[in-house]
Structure formats: C-alpha cells, structure tokens
Chains A and B, each alone.
Chain A
Amino acid sequence: MSESARVQEFNRHVASGGKVEATDWMPEEYRRAVCRFVEMHANSELMGVLPEREWILRAPTLKRKLALSAKVQDEVGHAQLLYRVAEDLGKPRQAMLADLLAGRTKFHNVFHYPTESWADVGIIAWLVDAAAIVAQQALRESSYAPYARTMKKICWEESVHILHGRDVVLTMVNGTARQRALVQDALERWWGPLMQMHGPRTDPAKDRDLAWRIKNKDNETLRQEFLTVYVPRIREIGLEPPDPELRQDDTGRWRYTEPDWKELYAVVTGHGPRSAERLAFRRLHYAETQWVRDTIMAAPVAA
C-alpha cells in the first residue's frame, strides 16, 4: 500500500470511530498532533498545581487540608499519567519538562492567574475543574486509545475535586458576610479566565484535532455545556457571574460578552499575571533537585 493510501485508510479508520494504540502505524502528522495535544494537557496539570499549592499550607481545618492535599496530589498524578502517554509517542519526559520550563510549550490560561484568598481555592476546585471536566469527559472518546483510557481514570479521580470545591463554596456562602464577599470577589476575578478557557470558536472543518477525533467536541460546544450546567448552580446559591450579557436565548443557547481573545493569546504565550513567576519557580525547584534524579538513575538496582 502506498504511503498516501495508508494515510487515507487511517483517516477513514479514525473518522469512523476506530482506535489507535501506541504501537500501531500512524501518520507522522497524527503522532505529532496527539503528542502536542497531550503534552499541553500534561503541562497544564503540572502548572495547575502551583496556584493551589500555596493554600495547602493555609487550609483552615484538618479536613480541608487533607482534601486539598489530595486534590493537588491528584493533579501531579495526572501530569504523570499524561506525560507517560506522550512519552510513549516518542518525546522523552525530560524533553517535555525542559520545553515547558524554557517557555517553549504552553499550558492552559487559568493557571497563569494569581490566587488571592481561600475563596479562590473553592472557586477553582468547583468551577475551573468543572470547565476542565466538560472537556475531559469528551476526551474519553479520543481516537488515541491510551489517551482515552487515561482520561477515563482522570475523570473518575476529578469527580471528588468538584465536590470538594462545591463544599468549600457552599460553606462560605452560608457563613459570614466576609466569607460571602470573598466568594463573590473570587468569582468575579475568575469569570473572565473561565470563559476563555475552552478557547475561541473555531471552524470545525479546519480543525485537524477534530477531524482525527483526537478530540470530539469543538470549543463552543464545551463552553455551552459548561454554562448550561453551572450558571444555574452559581445563581441558585446567590452568586452572580459578572457579565450583564449572560443569558440564554429562545433556543437555549447562552449569549455572553465576547471574551477577550487577545488576553487569552497573551496569557498562553507566557504573558499572564503569574506566568513568569510560576515558570521561574518550577525552574528553580527542578534545578535544586537535579542531583536527586542523577542519583537514582545511577544507583545500583535493588534486589
């Protein structure tokens, strides 16, 4: 079979729902596209640790400390799972970490922003994770089977994070006036990044990731799903997203103030409020622990 015929056969296979394993033949373009997609996802899980990590020391009760520690631990675990998937496609973990730390690869916008209070911890765990899960659930059907399987595990593990977040938010809205004010403030600061998180509307016909079914839903569909479930849940507890245009039209479609796509682009290319600081933080700690990696990769094998 000629190369181009093979590629066509492959395209037909994935377009009709067929799966691809790590050891299967695949077009170079597909391999690169999956690797890039998964790498960005892995980077996001790893960088996503940082905004919440500060609050691990500041959690105000034993139960919250356990819950937040477990949540952040899970994010690290998810980064591990995803780097493994990408590595099996041919890019070593060390190379991916080097590219991330050098600012050559991207991670999701939300992890470039500061956290200012315990209310942020609740809003992030509830709403940012919810927006992420909407995308992640769709990825369980990815044509690249190792990624699809990993997404099933990740979605299962994420479900408890959202409950933790919702519990933190509910406790605060039912609490003191100060607590309620902190939550509303956090919602107002996070709403913009949340609306940008799924990315701008794209033309499905031009989206290769969709054509190859690496992902199965386009950005706007994901955003609409998120709004449909979560706007009512936000409003029912007396909070209001800071967008006067936010409403459903007659067809049930959500209308909203157009997100600032220039801001999104600037942020994901490393110019967000905390981008530089967080990458520097990671570089510092990675460098400080290099001696440990060198050690265990040289140590005699234990029986």
Chain B
Amino acid sequence: MSAQALETPVRSALGGLLLAMADDEFVLGYWDSEWTGIAPVLEEDVAFASLAQDEIGHAQALYQLLADLEGGDPDELAYGRPPEGYRHARLLDHPRTDWAFSVARRFLYDTADAARLDALAASAYEPLAEVVAKMRREETYHLLHMHAWVERLATGGEEPRARLAAALERLWPDALCVLGGIDGDDLLAQAGVLAEPMAAVRRRWLAGLAPELARLDLPGPPDAHTGPCRGPGRTDDFRWLWEQFTMVRRSDPEAVW
C-alpha cells in the first residue's frame, strides 16, 4: 500500500507512529553514545558504540519515511524541534546514569522494540515493512548482547544484582510507554499497518519477558504507567541533551554542516 492509498486519519496516525519510533531510536542512540570511550571494558566500549550507532541509523531511516510521507528532511526533523516537540517514550527521558541502568534500559527498550517490529513486519504500508525488515536483522545482535549482560549482572553477585534490580524498578513504569502513547493505533491495526493495537503488542512483550524475569528473579512491571507516555513535560536531563545535540545548528542556523 502506498501513502496515497491511506485515508487521512490513518495517514495521520502513521505519521505519529513514525515520529514516535524515530524519536525513540534517536534519543536512545544519543544517550548510549555517551558511553563511547568510558565503558567498563575496551571491547565492550566498541560493542556498545555499535548499538548506539545502529539506533541512529534506524532513526535516520524512520525520519526519511516520515519525510517521504509528510515532507521535510530527516535532519530538520531530527534536530529542528524544541524539546517539547519530541515524541520519544518516557523511558528515554532518563540519562545514561550508570552501567546497570543503561543495560536495564536497553534491555527493556530492545525487547519492547522487537515486539513492535514484529507487529510491523507484515505492514500493509510497504515502505515501512521494508525498513522494519532491515531493522529486525540488526536488532538480532542487540537482543543477544543485552540478554547476555542482563544474565551476567543478575547472576554475577550481590552488587550487580542489586544495581540491576534497582534500575529495573525505576525504569519499568516508563518502559511501558514504549508500546504506548500512539494516537490512532486502533486505526492503524484496522488498516493493516500494524498487526494489532499497541495494548496487544505490549501484552505479548510482557508475556515474552516473564519467564526470563522469573528465572533470574528480577522485578517485573507495574500494572500501568501514569501520565502521558510521550510528552509533554520533558525532563531536565532531556533538555540538557537537546541543548547538546542542537548546539552547533543553533549557532549558525543558515549553515550547512
């Protein structure tokens, strides 16, 4: 199905979904890129940097899809909005914090994203299905790597366990937002853009994670998230990040970089 074939409400919801996904990937890619040069072990530094770069690559592809649908240009979309204009999930408002936190956040995000991508793999909107197919292949490595780290921290002794558990407790409510906050997701499901509404995707994600969390005796999710999932009301941490990533562009708005 092409963009022209979409009815206006569906098209509008699709735009919202693409922006949300692109912003999720973009913001996560930025936070995780902070570990470059200071990760716990040199080999892991290189690995984690690849994960962050992959997210930026995915964001780029998703912003391009959005630009194809609604006009504009990926860099303008990525860098040209005020902080309140970003639609990433609450989970990505948190800063990098420490290694356990970054591992926990990535674990929650990558597994939720995998469920989201599963629900888009056969999307009736072909351009998105194509991008999703590529993303899923790259995400294979992300999932392997994050499961490896969660396993190691959970079974590595009291301190790593405690740090991981504390991080998960803090992050779980906001993690529910990755598969939330998409206006018109029921329309998207009806139109075949999404395989099912987000609530169902979220249930599948949580059901998929439950055995591993039980086996490792790690905290599980609360019943719901309170408050808006994707803004407004961005954290100071995100505002700081926004200042960083828009700094050069704002210094010379007419310039090409």
Chain A 91-124 residues near chain B, CB threshold 8 A: 93, 118
The prevalent SS among residues of A at the interface is helix
Tell me, rounded to whole Å, the shortest Cβ–Cβ distance linking A76 to chain B. 5
A73 touches B36 (CB 8 A): yes
Cross-chain contact A292 with B252 (CB below 8 angstroms):
no
By secondary structure, the B interface counts as helix
Given the contacts A295-B159, A299-B152, A80 and B46 also touching, CB distance less than 8 Å: yes
> Known contacts being A69-B49, A73-B50, A291-B160, is A176 close to B36, with CB within 8 Å?
no
> How many interface residues does chain B have, given as a range?
35 or more
Asked if B37 contacts A72 (CB within 8 A), the reply is yes
Q: Are A80 and B40 in contact (CB under 8 A)?
A: no
Which residues of B are found within 8 Å of A299, using beta-carbon distances? 152, 155-157
Give chain B residues whose Cβ lies under 8 Å from the Cβ of A197.
none
B24 to chain A, nearest CB (A): 15
A294, B40: Cα distance in complex, Å: 10
Q: Give A203 to B245 CA distance when docked, in angstroms.
A: 48
A31 at interface, CB cutoff 8 A = no
Q: Is A155 positioned at the interface, with any CB of B under 8 Å from its CB?
A: no
Interface residues of A in 32-84 (CB under 8 A from B): 46, 49-50, 53, 56-62, 64-66, 69-70, 72-73, 75-77, 79-80, 83
> Nearest chain-B residue to A293 (Cβ)?
B40
Q: How far apart are A48's CB and chain B's nearest CB, in angstroms?
A: 9
Residue pair A175, B255 in contact (C-beta under 8 Å): yes
B239 proximal to A (CB < 8 A): no
**Is B237 an interface residue when CB atoms closer than 8 A count as contact?**
no
Q: Is A296 engaged at the interface, CB distance under 8 Å to the other chain? A: yes
Q: Is A289 an interface residue (CB 8 A)?
A: yes
Partner of A58, one of B57, B247, B256: B247
CB pair B245–A57 under 8 Å, yes or no, is yes
Cβ A61 vs Cβ B257 within 8 A: yes
Q: How far is the CB of B148 from chain A (nearest CB, A)?
A: 7
Residue of chain B at shortest CB distance from A84: B42
Question: Any chain A CB within 8 A of the CB of B169?
Answer: no
Indicate whether A262 reaches chain B with its CB closer than 8 angstroms: no
Q: A292-B99, A296-B152, A302-B148 are in contact. Are A49 and B248 (CB under 8 A)?
A: no
In contact, A73 and B49 (Cβ under 8 angstroms): yes
Query: For residue B63, which residues in chain A have a CB less than 8 angstroms away from its CB?
Result: 62
Question: Closest CB of chain B to A253's CB: distance in Å?
Answer: 38
Kindly count the residue-residue contacts between A and B in the assembled complex, taking CB atoms under 8 Å apart.
133
Distance A64 CA – B75 CA, assembled complex (angstroms): 11
CB closest residue in chain B, given A50: B37
A175 vs B155: C-alpha distance in the bound complex, in angstroms? 54
**Contacting pair B148 A62 (CB below 8 A):** no
Check: A288 CB closer than 8 A to any chain B CB: yes
Q: Which of B53, B148, B248 is the one whose CB lies under 8 Å from A60?
A: B248
Q: Is A1 an interface residue, CB under 8 A from the partner?
A: no
- Interface flag for A201 (CB, 8 Å): no
Cα distance, A49 to B49, chains bound together (Å): 13
User: Given A69-B49, A80-B42, A57 and B256 touching (CB < 8 A)?
Assistant: no
For the complex, is B132 an interface residue (Cβ under 8 Å from A)?
no
Q: Does B38 have its Cβ within 8 Å of any Cβ on chain A?
A: yes
Interface string of A279-303 (1 = CB under 8 A from B): 0001001001101111110111010
Of the residues B57, B151, B245, B248, contact of A118 by C-beta under 8 Å: B248
Contact A289 B53 (CB under 8 A): no
Say which residue of B30, B56, B99 sits within 8 Å of A289 (CB atoms). Answer: B99
CB-CB nearest in chain A for B77? A62
**Interface pair A49/B56, CB less than 8 Å apart:** no
Q: Tell me if A70 and B53 are in contact (CB < 8 A).
A: yes
Q: What are the interface flags for B129-165 relative to A under an 8 Å C-beta threshold, 1 for contact and 0 otherwise?
A: 0000000000000000000100111011101100100
Q: Taking the complex as formed, is B4 at the interface, i.e. its CB lies under 8 A from any CB of chain A?
A: no
Most chain B CB inside 10 Å of its own CB: which residue of A69, A171, A293: A69
Given known contacts A291-B163, A296-B156, A298-B156, is B56 in contact with A57 (CB within 8 Å)? no
Does any Cβ of A come within 8 Å of B79's Cβ? yes
List residues 15-56 of chain B with CB under 8 A from any CB of chain A: 29-30, 33-34, 36-43, 45-46, 49-50, 52-53, 56
B180 interface residue per 8 A CB criterion: no
Interface residues of A, Cβ cutoff 8 Å to B = 46, 49-50, 53, 56-62, 64-66, 69-70, 72-73, 75-77, 79-80, 83, 93, 118, 168, 171-172, 175-176, 178-179, 282, 285, 288-289, 291-296, 298-300, 302
Which 10 A-B pairs give the minimum distances between C-beta atoms?
A: A292-B40, A289-B40, A49-B37, A295-B156, A73-B49, A60-B248, A285-B38, A80-B42, A57-B244, A60-B257
A sample of 10 cross-chain residue pairs with beta-carbon separation below 8 angstroms, ordered by A number, consists of A53-B36, A62-B74, A66-B60, A69-B36, A73-B45, A93-B42, A118-B257, A289-B40, A296-B152, A298-B157
